[in-house]
Amino acid sequence: MSAMTPRFTVGVNKANGRRPCREPVPFQEILPLKLKDSVSGKGDRTSEVACLQDMAVMLACFKKHDFNQALCSKEIGAFQTCYTNFMIDHQKEKNMESTMAGTKSKLPYRTLNKILKKYPSA
C-alpha cells in the first residue's frame, strides 16, 4: 500500500456497522386503549415528618438532663413554634386543595380521583 492512499474511507456507507438493524415491532393491542377512572396513590406514601431537626435537638436535651423539662425550655419552645408553623402551612395547603383555587401542576391523587369520577372517560 502506498502512503498516500487512505486506509479507510469515511462517508462511503451511511449505515453504522456496529449498530444492529432494528426491525419495526408491530403493535399488538392486548388490553383496550382506554383510560381508567382513577389514579393510584402509590406516589403519595411518603409521610411528611414535621420539624425533625428540632425534635432531635429537644430529645437530645431531654436525654442530657434526665428528662427535666425545666432545663430544656428553649428547645421545647423552638419545637412548638416550628410545629405550629408546620400545621398552619399544612392547613393552608388543605384549604387550597379543597377549593381548587390554587393552580398547582401536580394535584394530589384524591383530588384527581374526584375529578375523574365527575367526568368518566366512557
| 104 or 29, greater pLDDT | 29
Range of the domain at 91: 48-96
Residue spans of alpha helices (H) in 11-51? none
Residue 101 lies in a domain: no
Q: Is the pLDDT of residue 73 over 70?
A: yes
Residue 67 lies in a domain: yes
What is the number of structural domains in the chain? 1
pLDDT of residue 121: 76
What CA–CA distance (Å, rounded) separates 120 from 4? 73
Residue 118, all three cell numbers: 365527575
